[in-house]
């Protein structure tokens, strides 16, 4: 059994749902045109992932293996509905901007994947940590991609944050380049480019870490002593 620390590191880095498993790409590529969109979708996904992992983990002994997938999907759909209603209540404008991609969290493979591969085999606490860390990993990738595309596409950062944090957040907008627009980065192809660059960077960092590790001396195997003959 993995320790909680290993589970956390897996979720955010080694087995990151977006960068390594490449799951949930549809919402990832579609809504990351700005930081606020990315944050909104990332938080909703995080909430659903934590909720579904906990629920699946608690019910894991009572769900027959033959019908586990439909059951998990129903559990996930309930949490997505909760997230959708919450967003309608508190961040209605953002909800209308994200549109179909909020209900589509149900079909995000990484959520069903975690439910089936992890939560249905582990107790509550590891499942909770796994859901939270996987969601956090997904959220971080969304945020970086959103910031990158907003910056390269329209030259700003944190535009329209009032949609998520109330009226005073409108002043958070940070204009780095005046009168600038590079439509390509806002449109879907820009998301593929950004994603490719992020994956390449991650591989680069991994290769660098591997190179820096002091090569561990292989322990000298015990010399077998011939006892016969």
Partner 1 sequence: MSLLAPSSPHAHRPLSTSHVMAQVSLATLPALGVLTWLFGWGSLINVMLAVTTAIFAEALILKLRKRPWRILMDNSALLTGLLLGLSITPLAPWWLPVLGAAVAVVVAKQVYGGLGQNPFNPAMVAYALLLVSFPLPMSLWPQPLSLQAEPWTFWEHLTHTFTGSLHAIDGYTGATLLDAFKHKGALTAEEFWLQTPVAQAVLNATTGVSLAYLLGGVYLLWRGIISWHTPVAVLASLLILAAFFYGADPSQYASPSMHLLVGAGIFSAFFIATDPVTSATSHKGKLVYGAGIGILVYVIRTWGNYPDAFAFAVLLMNFAVPFIDYYTRPRTYGHARAQRGIK
Residues that bind partner 1 (CB under 8 A): 182-184, 187, 193
Comparing CB distances to partner 1, the nearer of 85 and 201 is 201
The CB-of-193 to partner 1 minimum distance in angstroms stands at 8
Output the 3-class SS for 195-207.
Answer: HHHHHHHHHHHHH
To the nearest 5 percent, what fractions of the chain are helix, strand and coil?
A: 70, 0, 25
The CB-of-6 to partner 1 minimum distance in angstroms stands at 35
CA–CA dist 229, 227 (Å, integer):
7
Q: Are 135 and 46 in contact (CB under 8 A)?
A: yes
The CB-of-61 to partner 1 minimum distance in angstroms stands at 50
Comparing CB distances to partner 1, the nearer of 65 and 183 is 183
**Number of Cβ within a 10 Å radius of residue 22:** 14
The CB-of-184 to partner 1 minimum distance in angstroms stands at 4
Comparing CB distances to partner 1, the nearer of 175 and 187 is 187
Phi, psi of 16 (to 5 degrees): -55, 125
CA–CA dist 165, 145 (Å, integer):
20
The CB-of-210 to partner 1 minimum distance in angstroms stands at 19
CA distances from 3 to 6, 66, 144 (A): 5, 30, 28
Q: Are 101 and 30 in contact (CB under 8 A)?
A: yes
Comparing CB distances to partner 1, the nearer of 69 and 187 is 187
Comparing CB distances to partner 1, the nearer of 125 and 200 is 200
Q: 196 Cβ partners below 8 Å, 6+ apart?
A: none
Q: Are 112 and 69 in contact (CB under 8 A)?
A: yes
The CB-of-187 to partner 1 minimum distance in angstroms stands at 7
Comparing CB distances to partner 1, the nearer of 26 and 187 is 187
């Amino acid at each position: 059994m993995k320790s909680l620390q290993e589970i956390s590191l897996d979720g955010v880095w080694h087995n990151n749902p977006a960068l390594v498993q490449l799951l949930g790409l549809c919402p990832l590529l579609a809504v990351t045109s700005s930081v606020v969109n990315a944050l909104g979708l990332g938080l909703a996904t995080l909430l659903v992932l934590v909720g579904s992992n906990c629920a699946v983990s608690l019910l894991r002994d009572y769900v027959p293996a033959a019908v586990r997938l439909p059951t998990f999907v129903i559990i996930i759909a309930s949490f997505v509905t909760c997230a959708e209603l919450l967003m309608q209540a508190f961040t209605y404008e953002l909800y209308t901007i994200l549109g179909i991609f909020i209900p589509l969290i149900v079909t995000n493979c990484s959520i069903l994947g975690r439910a089936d591969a992890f939560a249905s085999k582990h107790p509550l606490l590891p499942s909770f940590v796994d859901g939270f860390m996987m969601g956090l990993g997904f959220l971080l990738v969304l945020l970086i991609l959103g910031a990158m595309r907003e910056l390269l596409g329209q030259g700003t950062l944190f535009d329209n944050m009032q949609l998520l944090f109330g009226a005073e957040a409108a002043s958070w907008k940070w204009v780095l380049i005046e009168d600038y627009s590079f439509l390509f980065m806002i449109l879907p192809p820009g998301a593929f480019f950004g994603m490719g660059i992020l994956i390449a960077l991650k591989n680069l960092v991994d290769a660098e870490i591997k190179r820096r590790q002091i090569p561990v001396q292989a322990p000298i195997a015990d010399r077998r002593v011939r006892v016969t003959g």
